[in-house]
């Protein structure tokens, strides 16, 4: 608020025009009636412009100020809120053609608010809010980046995975800094048997990452207590553990989250690989020059609300000496639109890609797949977390 002068509506123009000319700080004068209630305003710029011609001043100097005042003006309570004032000005912007508004205290003039001052205040407020938002964003991103390091610590150890196969290729691209996709490998049992899993949890970003951490913990627990299970049994029990951990087996469940997963149980001593999948399939590149084999995952997601225990999922057994490589991928690979027509990448295109690059090492194949997905996506935004495991035998 700025202080101002008031002038009676009946006063002559020559009592105020010289004051406006002489005092550059007097940008808005309030005209009041006999009860000292505002009835109009005199804006400095408009008055000086109108009185620039000496003839005009000669004409108006003896007239009452009512002949020059602007009767259309805004008023607002002096103790009002700036946010409310901003809303009023925004709603009535087309009517604002003066340099300010009159602030009232008990309907009498308490001062004026110049629009230039108001805009300056709003700019400063916006700058302060921007600084606060930037600081808040930095705090949030520091937390998310730290969460990413924690999540990556839960992923399968790449060096240990490479030591378990001829070669391993990994594609892991969360849509955000953290995501709902994880890959995991168990320790090895005394006879050399171990599990490898790929998991796609509901959502992405922080919610997906939280569920993925829960799934990783449940996998570790199952390995420690039930490592004699086949993959289909593992997936059933894994779904139960996650459902129970989220209290989704109760009537008052607050969440409804779950996951897709594929698990392979690898037994080097017997030369056997067992696979089971819940909505994540397995692509097998045969050792002989035969077509790439696609084994579909069972059409059942795990976790989510429910009270009935998950049934064991079907298993598929393969002989290691028949397999050159196995590939598991989350739906972030298949559902990503792109190409010339904006279509989804799809499983058929992945099978064709694997066939075309079947002679590459697992790590090279994963690198080329990642490049192919980037090229396929083009200008399209990434829709989901994107993960793939290429296990070379």
Each residue of 292-326: pLDDT tens digit? Answer: 999 999 999 999 999 999 999 999 999 999 999 99
Residues 113 and 159 grouped into a single domain:
no
- Same domain? 105 vs 176: no
Instruction: Return the closest-CA partner of residue 386 out of 327, 326, 335.
Output: 335
Contact 216, 154 (CB under 8 A): yes
Tokens matching residue 303: 């976790």
CATH number at residue 220: 3.60.40.10
Supply 283's token pair. 């692509």
pLDDT band at 31 (very low <50, low <70, confident <90, very high): very high
Residue keyed to tokens 């409310």:
84
**93 confidence band (pLDDT: 50, 70, 90):** low
Q: What is the dihedral of CA 246, 252, 256, 262, to 10 degrees?
A: 50
The CA distance from 225 to 214, in Å, is 17
Whole-angstrom distance, CA of residue 361 vs CA of residue 346: 23
30 beta partners: 6, 41
Same domain for 14 and 88: yes
Indicate whether 144 belongs to any domain.
no
Q: What is the token pair recorded at 277?
A: 């999948």
Report H helices in the chain: 17-22, 44-50, 54-60, 82-91, 115-154, 158-164, 205-226, 231-245, 331-334, 346-356, 362-377
Assess whether 93 and 37 both reside in one domain: yes
The tokens of 52 are what?
Answer: 């620039």
Q: Mark which of 67, 96, 121 sits at the end of a domain.
A: 121
pLDDT of amino acid 96? 58
Residue 348 and residue 234 share a domain: yes
Give the model's pLDDT for residue 138: 93
Give pLDDT, residue 182. 96
Residue 233 domain-assigned?
Answer: yes
pLDDT at residue 340, rounded to an integer: 87
Residue with tokens 């109760």: 250
Residue 131 forms part of a structural domain: no
The reply to whether 267 and 326 lie within a common domain is yes
Same domain, 96 and 160: no
Domains: count for the chain? 2
Q: Three-state SS for 214?
A: helix
76 and 207 share a domain? no
Q: Give me the torsion for CA of 272, 196, 198, 316, rounded to 10°.
A: 20
The gap between the terminal CA atoms of the chain, to the nearest Å, is: 79
Predicted TM-score of the model (pTM): 0.73
Q: Are residues 229 and 319 in the same domain?
A: yes
Is the per-residue pLDDT at 94 higher than 70?
no
Answer yes or no: is 140 within a domain. no
**Domain-embedded: residue 136:** no
3-class secondary structure, 38? strand
Token pair of 104 as six digits: 């009232």
160 within a domain of the structure (yes/no)? yes
CATH number reported for the structural domain that contains residue 40 in this entry: 3.10.580.10
Band (98; pLDDT cuts 50, 70, 90)? low
- Its domain, for residue 91, covers 6-121
How far is the C-alpha of 130 from the C-alpha of 17, rounded, in Å?
A: 43
Confirm if 171 and 387 have CB atoms less than 8 A apart.
yes
Tokens 């990556």, residue located = 152
Mapping DSSP to helix (H, G, I), strand (E, B) and coil, where does residue 362 land?
helix
- Give the model's pLDDT for residue 97: 57
Is 357 a residue whose pLDDT tops 80? Answer: yes
Specify the pLDDT at position 87. 81
Tell me which of 121, 136, 164 is where a domain ends: 121
The pLDDT of 86-94, averaged and rounded, is 72
Cβ neighbours for 66, distance < 8 A, ≥ 6 positions apart: 9, 10, 31, 40
**Cα radius of gyration (the chain):** 37
The reply to whether 108 and 244 lie within a common domain is no
Binning pLDDT at 50, 70 and 90, where does residue 73 land? Answer: confident
- Provide φ and ψ at 273, rounded to 5°: -120, 130
């Amino acid at each position: 608020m700025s202080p101002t002068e008031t002038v009676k509506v009946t006063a002559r123009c020559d009592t105020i025009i010289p004051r406006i000319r002489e005092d550059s700080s007097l940008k808005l004068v309030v005209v009041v009636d006999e009860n000292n209630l505002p009835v109009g305003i005199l804006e400095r710029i408009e008055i000086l412009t109108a009185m620039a011609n000496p003839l005009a001043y000669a004409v108006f100097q003896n007239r009452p100020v009512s002949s020059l005042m602007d009767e259309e003006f805004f008023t607002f309570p002096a103790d009002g809120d700036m946010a409310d004032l901003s809303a009023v000005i925004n709603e009535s912007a087309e009517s604002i053609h003066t340099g300010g508004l009159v602030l009232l205290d008990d309907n009498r003039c308490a001062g004026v608010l110049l629009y230039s001052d108001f805009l300056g205040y709003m700019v400063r407020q916006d700058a302060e809010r921007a600084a606060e938002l930037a600081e808040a964003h930095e705090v949030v991103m520091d937390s998310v980046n730290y969460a990413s390091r924690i999540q990556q610590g839960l992923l399968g150890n790449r060096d240990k995975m490479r030591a378990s196969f001829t070669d391993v290729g990994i594609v892991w691209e969360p849509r955000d800094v953290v995501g709902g996709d994880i890959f995991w490998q168990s320790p090895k049992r005394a006879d050399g048997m171990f599990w490898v899993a790929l998991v796609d949890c509901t959502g992405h970003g922080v919610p997906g990452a939280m569920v993925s951490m829960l799934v990783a913990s449940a996998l570790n627990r199952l390995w420690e207590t039930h490592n004699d299970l086949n993959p289909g049994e593992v997936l059933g029990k894994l779904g139960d553990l996650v459902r129970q951990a989220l209290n989704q087996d109760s009537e008052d469940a607050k969440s409804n989250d779950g996951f897709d997963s594929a698990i392979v149980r690898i037994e080097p001593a017997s030369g056997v690989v067992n696979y089971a999948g819940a909505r994540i399939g397995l692509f097998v590149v045969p050792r002989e020059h035969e077509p790439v084999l696609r084994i579909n995952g069972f059409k059942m997601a795990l976790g989510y609300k429910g009270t009935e225990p998950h049934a064991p999922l079907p298993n598929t057994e393969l002989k290691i000496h028949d397999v050159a490589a196995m590939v598991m991928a989350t739906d972030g690979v298949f559902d990503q639109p792109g190409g010339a027509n904006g279509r989804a990448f799809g499983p058929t295109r992945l099978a064709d890609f694997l066939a075309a690059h079947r002679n590459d090492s697992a790590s090279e194949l994963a690198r080329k797949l990642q490049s192919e997905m980037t090229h396929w996506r083009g200008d399209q935004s990434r829709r989901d977390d994107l993960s793939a495991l290429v296990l070379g035998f």
